[in-house]
């Protein structure tokens, strides 16, 4: 496994991030523990979760599964950089019956941290991430709450998720003016070959402010994982967003061209999609969310892939990025 520093920090993390969103809803606790053990054995030390994972009446279940794994000992907690998130409403039915039970008020941040620590069965969170922007709460209030938690030793670093570029700038300029915490050190965003809009402003902002970029949905919901090949070989039908996308003839032709290109090179689509992200400026590592141990092994092979210039050019031709702003939309 390769390691890199998370943004401008001294924290060393693996170039693949283990996503845990499937733990609970799709993968039971025993299998989840086996996947985490296998990830740690392979050198993956960066695990990502969120307080709402588990979903519905089981919100928080994923953090509890991870906490039970930590409790097994064997250096599991000490070897793991654990990242979780705050923002979503934790009521079981998702309805905001009472105010102050979601978003980024100082009150909710305080409550959410303590609840996550309890479920994770740990005394601190390595990377605490804002799951979404909160248009109602000023960053002065957010950073005041974070300063207290850092001083208490409950969190070490802070990151954002799904932030636009201007909010990354606002957050870190406010932190710099206050002179407390070092501000955001990472941004977790939707970024992959088929969805490159983050290259316009989010990734440049992250680079300018020294944030590590952590792409989520690196296979774009399975679209980049050889979906057409799987349909042809095994009769497996696509579902959800992937199926809707493939109904568009132009999008289907684009995915087919992608798979044909990789067939010529003898490469697996899902592994190339991950390996491509590892070549991108500013990317710390993509989040992989395996439901099985076999899917984890496939993701691990991506770290070893070296993509040649001709292949990279071919990928750019099929999935051209928008380019940086303002050129992307102004000229």
Quick check: 45 and 14 in contact, CB under 8 A?
yes
Quick check: 129 and 162 in contact, CB under 8 A?
no
Active-site residue, selected from the candidate residues 53, 157, 209, 258: 53
Angle at the Cα of 272 from the Cα atoms of 319 and 9, rounded to 5 degrees = 95
Quick check: 315 and 261 in contact, CB under 8 A?
yes
As a whole number of angstroms, the distance between CA 306 and CA 239 comes to 31
Query: What CA dihedral angle connects 146, 148, 152 and 157, to 10 degrees?
Result: 20
The most distant pair of C-alpha atoms in the chain lies apart, rounded to whole Å, by 58
Quick check: 129 and 161 in contact, CB under 8 A?
yes
As a whole number of angstroms, the distance between CA 37 and CA 162 comes to 29
Sequence-separated (6 or more) residues with CB below 8 Å from residue 91: 97, 98, 101
Catalytic annotation present for 53: yes
As a whole number of angstroms, the distance between CA 105 and CA 86 comes to 10
Q: Which of 21, 13, 111 is nearest to 65 (CA)?
A: 21
Name the residues annotated as catalytic.
Answer: 53
């Amino acid at each position: 496994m390769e390691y890199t520093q998370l943004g401008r920090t001294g924290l060393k993390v693996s170039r693949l991030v283990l996503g845990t969103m499937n733990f609970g809803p799709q993968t039971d606790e025993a299998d989840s523990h086996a996947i985490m053990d296998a990830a740690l054995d392979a050198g993956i030390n960066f695990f990502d979760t969120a307080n709402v994972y588990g979903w519905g009446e089981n919100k928080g279940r994923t953090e509890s599964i991870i906490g039970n794994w930590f409790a097994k000992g064997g250096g599991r907690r000490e070897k793991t950089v654990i990242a979780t998130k705050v923002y979503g409403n934790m009521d079981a039915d998702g309805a905001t019956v009472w105010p102050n039970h979601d978003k980024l008020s100082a009150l909710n941040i305080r409550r959410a941290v303590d609840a996550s620590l309890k479920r994770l069965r740990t005394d601190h969170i390595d990377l605490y991430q804002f799951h979404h922007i909160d248009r109602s709460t000023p960053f002065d209030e957010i950073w005041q709450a974070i300063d207290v938690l850092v001083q208490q030793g409950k969190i070490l670093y802070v990151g954002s998720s799904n932030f636009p570029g201007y909010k990354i700038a606002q957050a870190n300029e406010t932190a710099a003016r206050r002179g407390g915490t070092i501000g955001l050190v990472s941004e977790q965003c939707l970024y992959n070959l088929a969805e490159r809009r983050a290259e316009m402003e989010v990734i440049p902002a992250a680079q300018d402010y020294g944030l590590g970029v952590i792409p989520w949905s690196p296979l774009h919901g399975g679209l980049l994982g050889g979906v057409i090949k799987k349909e042809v070989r095994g009769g497996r039908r696509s579902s959800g967003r992937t199926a809707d996308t493939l109904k568009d003839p132009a999008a289907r032709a684009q995915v087919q061209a992608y798979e044909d290109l990789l067939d010529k090179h003898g490469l697996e689509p899902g592994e190339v999609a991950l390996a491509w992200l590892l070549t991108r400026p500013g990317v710390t590592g993509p989040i992989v969310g395996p439901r099985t141990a076999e899917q984890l092994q496939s993701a691990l092979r991506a770290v070893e892939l070296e993509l040649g210039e001709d292949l990279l050019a071919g990928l750019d031709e099929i999935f051209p990025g928008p380019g940086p702003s303002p050129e992307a939309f102004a000229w």
